[in-house]
Amino acid sequence: MPEHILSNSDLEAMVETSDEWITERTGIKERRLAKDIPVFEMAAIAAQKALEDASVSPSEIDVIIAATITPDYYTPSLSCLVQKQLCANRAFCFDINAACSGFCYALDIADNYIKTNKAKTILIVASEAISRITDYTDRNTCVLFGDGAGAIVACAGRDRGMYDCILKAIGSMGDVLKAGMFSENKYIKMAGREVYKFAVNANVDTITSLLERNNIGIEDIDHIIPHQANKRIISAVSIKLGINADKIYTNLEKYGNTSSASIPICLDEMNKKNMLKSGDMLILVGFGGGLTYGGSLIQWI
């Protein structure tokens, strides 16, 4: 995470809002801003730490998949820039754009490379500087987003880590959450209530389908790690599905919505807090622009 903190009280000085409104409607207290740190630098730092945690050297990486909607360049891609930083010279590299669902999409792609024996070791990195496409005069959006990066190393093994993955998209609803390519439309524009309703339904649909398809109940799941957009979205989903709130991990109060990076940032925090035990069953669930959504059922090895 970048070090610069933008608190709710900082935002009170920028737009007509209040700490009380932001906390009640979203659960967010502060978020981090990359300022002049490039997206690839945050990505490379996260990737380096993930490799160290996994005891994998850069020369072992077969593929680097980067998820972002805020790359530093059209080309070279974020994944190629990460490759260069790490000297992971054997890897082939590409970026994907599935907005806040980017990490879930990347995980499924990685799983398919591994299951078809095309790769053994895959670095997935999600890095975003959403502050660069945020209009800090628009109170409807500027209170929500933050910057950050997260990474994981996915490896082929004898154990079954990835059980299932579901990905979906509703392109016909894309207009409710948009950021353009040109200076006049580059800032995020969002119909908040529409996205809110979509988000609750998308999360419920993904979690229910993952449970049904794999013949397991919610009681068999140890942790749910949702995309960190809004505490009310997360609690609406937990009420609808009767999920005990302590099974659902959140850190959005500290970081806001970091788009595709939010799920791997949570995973890293949970790992560092020793919350993830071997054999634990996890559901990761994301949604975002596109509109896109999806999630995975994973066993922590």
* Nearer to ligand UT7 among residue 149 and residue 199 (C-beta): 199
The verdict on 21 binding ligand UT7 (CB under 6 A) reads yes
* Nearer to ligand UT7 among residue 23 and residue 299 (C-beta): 23
Distance, in Å, from the CA atom of 288 to the CA atom of 135, rounded to the nearest integer, reads 18
Binding mask 133-172 for ligand UT7 (x = CB under 6 A): ------xx--x-----------------------------
Q: Which of 5, 17, 164, 218 binds ligand UT7 (CB under 6 A)?
A: 17
Residue with tokens 């590299």: 93
Tell me how many residues contact ligand UT7 (CB under 6 A).
Answer: 19
Q: Tell me the Ramachandran region of residue 90: left when phi exceeds 0, alpha when psi lies from -120 to 50, beta otherwise.
A: alpha
The verdict on 126 binding ligand UT7 (CB under 6 A) reads no
Distance, in Å, from the CA atom of 147 to the CA atom of 32, rounded to the nearest integer, reads 6
DSSP 257: B
Give the chain's length. 301
Q: Which of 98, 48, 37, 91 is nearest to 68 (CA)?
A: 98
Token pair of 212 as six digits: 């049904």
User: Could you say which residues in the range 72-101 bind ligand UT7, by CB under 6 A?
Assistant: 100
Q: Which stretch binds ligand UT7 (CB under 6 A): 14-22, 42-50, 112-120, 248-256?
A: 14-22
* Nearest residue to the partner ligand UT7, using Cβ: 192
- Let me know how many helices (H) and strands (E) the chain has, helices first: 10, 12
Q: Reply yes or no on whether 257 is catalytic.
A: yes
Q: Which of 67, 195, 252, 284 binds ligand UT7 (CB under 6 A)?
A: 195
Under 8 Å CB-to-CB from 274, ≥6 apart: which residues?
Answer: none
CA-to-CA separations, 234 to 27, 50, 173, 231, 247, in angstroms, rounded: 10, 27, 21, 5, 11
The verdict on 196 binding ligand UT7 (CB under 6 A) reads yes
The DSSP H or E segment spanning 299 is: strand 292-299
The verdict on 130 binding ligand UT7 (CB under 6 A) reads no
Q: Applying CB under 6 A, which residues contact ligand UT7?
A: 17, 21-22, 25-26, 100, 139-140, 143, 190, 192-193, 195-196, 199, 229-230, 257, 288
Q: Which residues are catalytic?
A: 100, 227, 257
